[in-house]
Amino acid sequence: MKRAVNVPARWRKEIERVLITEAQIARRVNALAREIERDFRGHETVVVSLLNGTVMFLADLIRHFSLPLRMDFMGVSSYGLGTESGDLVFTKELRLDVRGRDVLLVDDILDTGRTLHKVLAKMRALKPRRIKTCVLLDKISRRVEPVEADYIGFQIPDFFVVGYGLDFAERYRNLPFVGVLHPQVYKQVSKSVIRSVNSKKRPKKEKPPGKKAKKAKKKK
């Protein structure tokens, strides 16, 4: 049996356990880079990364490449209130022309597949020579779209994970490992977000005209 890795003291109230250690990530990213470089050898590659969760993974991945490459980013937001999936919104478009080029599309996690499904459709319309996809994590049990990645770092169970670029409410991206978030953390934040939105939607109560008239008389 593998020995459990202790969560650093700073994070124990929020992180339930370490799922993938820093050392495991480093070894797997190195192996992925060798596999990708072998497949893309002989062609200039355009690496397209989906913001923002890929930043740490992307940086570690491409520093192992010796092949010629260009890099661009697409901004995609696919989460609504709390942990619920919302409408997909493209927040940044590609700047580089990928027509006739080899493209490596990098994402942090393949979950339901909705995001990657729409991004791939958008990319194919730009007519690249070929597209390969690379993800750090794959939650195959949650798939609702027929999408598979060509290169996968780790397949994981249906846990709410953070760290190594992955966030919850824009926190935990800086953790050097991938950890499982305590359920009470995201449940509490989700409830507070929903309460805040509902309070903004609630119409303000109008004061009866009679009370305003009385106040006006007292001022005179």
d(CA 51, CA 58): 10
d(CA 137, CA 180): 13
pLDDT at res. 5: 84
Residues with catalytic function: 111
82-119 residue pLDDT tens:
445 567 899 999 999 999 999 999 999 999 999 999 99
Residue type, 50: L
Averaged pLDDT of the chain? 87
pLDDT confidence band for 205 (50 / 70 / 90): low
pLDDT at res. 1: 43
Higher-pLDDT residue of 13 and 210 is 13
Tell me if 37 sits within 8 A of 66, measured CB to CB.
Answer: yes
Tell me if 46 sits within 8 A of 40, measured CB to CB.
Answer: no
pLDDT at res. 197: 44
- Per cent of the chain over pLDDT 70 is 80
Q: Enumerate the H helices of the chain as residue ranges.
A: 22-40, 55-62, 114-124, 183-201, 209-219
Tell me if 33 sits within 8 A of 69, measured CB to CB.
Answer: no
**Looking at residues 188-194, what average pLDDT do you find?**
59
pTM of the complete model: 0.82
Tell me if 19 sits within 8 A of 155, measured CB to CB.
Answer: no
Identify whether 6 is preceded by a cis peptide bond (ω within 30 of 0): no
Q: Would you state the torsion angle of the CA atoms of residues 42, 32, 155, 136, taken in this order, to the nearest 10 degrees?
A: -90
158-176 residue pLDDT tens:
999 999 999 999 999 999 9
pLDDT at res. 203: 59
